[in-house]
Amino acid sequence: MDIFAKCYKPSLVDEVREKKIYPYFHALESRQDTEVIMEGKRRIMLGSNNYLGLTTHPEVIEAGVRAFEEYGSGCSGSRFLNGTLTLHLQLEEELAKFLRKEAVVTFSTGYQSNLGIISAIVGLGDYVIMDRENHASLYDACRLSFGKMLRFRHNDMEDLEKKLASVPENAGRLIVTDGVFSMGGDIANLPEICRLAKQYGARVMVDDAHGLGVIGEGGRGTASYYGLEDQVDIYMGTFSKSLASLGGYMAASRQVVDYVKHCSRPFIFSASITPASCAAALAALRILASHPELPETLQNRAVFMRAKLQDADIRMRESNGERIPIIPIYTYEPLPTLVIAKELYNRGVYVNSTLPPATAPGECLLRTSLMATHSEALIEEAVGIIADVLRSHHVGE
């Protein structure tokens, strides 16, 4: 049998392309900002993770250009060998200080961070206990490790306790959860997770890719939001969202970080973050550290948009994070969701279509996300278009 046979079979992708409602790979022709030029037309950007709007900040851009000129275009090797710059060490030191952890190690992407952390920490005979709605990279990380994965129902602490109780007493246990869930915009029940971890002798890892710069004191993330910074053993995060660059990190105790640096294959065998990306992330971190009001502005924008959507009788997914800038809107079925997203795109609003398996059947969503730099006027304009399109399709009636 030809191994490529699967590539030629008719698929949903073929169907939606034929219907001209394919939602992916739209090309940007401008900077990532609140308004963009995409395929020749102005669009209000409600589908980016640029939460603090720092991708266009002059200090971030200047830092990247300066690093490009000083260090060149790349490191041409892994951190383990020739790819460590003073910039990497500086970023790690300042990020550890900001997060109030002993040490930080950086990875080339956020996805790779999860692969590198879990594959190093979780060995044969160990268990990872995962929230079902965790990011795909965490699932892949468990597959790369030699441990066993158990999944608990989303934010269901009774189910988590059942899973913990089923783990053999002599096995290592790592509870892994997103801090802010990327599709639903809700927040993990970290107080109860930490309580159960202590009761059952487990360690806790939080994927805070969508928490850094968004919640917590000065944007320090989910553990800070709950006042549990001393009870979360590992923070993971990315530079591609609030910090307006590319890369990822792990923050933990010095011993755990050192162990991962010497045992993580994705870390050892990958080239390091480019100088420009590293410098841009460092500049963005410094802006966040010196402007703690930025996350508050972002949260206020989220409250404002939710109120406008509610006034327009638009049904949002229920969430315990009303100040989270991820706001999912119900569209229910896959094909209508894609049709609606295409109409919004044509009318100048870019959103993300969320379909199964990222959602449950019959619960498709338009995932909208805000930046601190969105004006209230721009949000009102976008909500007006969204409401008009949803009404024309009788969504929610």
Rounded alpha-carbon distances, angstroms, from residue 275 to 131, 282, 385 = 35, 11, 41
Q: How far is CA 226 from CA 159, 190, 289, in A?
A: 21, 7, 19
Give the integer Cα–Cα distance in Å for 232 and 160. 17
Q: How far apart (Å, rounded) are the C-alpha atoms in residues 209 and 138? A: 12
User: Residues 244, 91, 123, 230: is their CA dihedral positive or negative?
Assistant: negative
H helices, E strands: number in the chain: 15, 13
CA distance 329 to 381: 16
The C-alpha torsion from 31 through 183 and 190 to 114, rounded to 10°, is -70
Please give the Cα distance from 258 to 268 (Å, whole number).
12
User: Token pair 């997203």 is at which residue?
Assistant: 341
Distance of CA 217 to the CA centre of its chain: 19
The catalytic residue among 182, 245, 264, 272 is 182
Distance of CA 160 to the CA centre of its chain: 23
Is 135 tagged catalytic? no
270 is catalytic: no
Q: Catalytic residue at 182?
A: yes
The DSSP annotation for 365-391 comes to EEEEE--TT--HHHHHHHHHHHHHHHH
Among 101, 241, 308, 342, which one carries the catalytic annotation?
A: 241
Contact 244, 62 (CB under 8 A): no
Among 135, 210, 342, 374, which one carries the catalytic annotation?
Answer: 210
Q: Per the structure block, which two tokens stand in for 146? A: 């030699």
Q: Tell me which residue of 332, 380, 325, 381 sits closest to 356, measured CA to CA.
A: 332
Residue with tokens 């392309």: 17
Phi and psi torsions of 394, nearest 5°: 60, 35
Which DSSP string do the residues of 71-86 spell out, in sequence order?
Answer: H-S---SBTTTT---H
Residues annotated as catalytic are 182, 210, 241
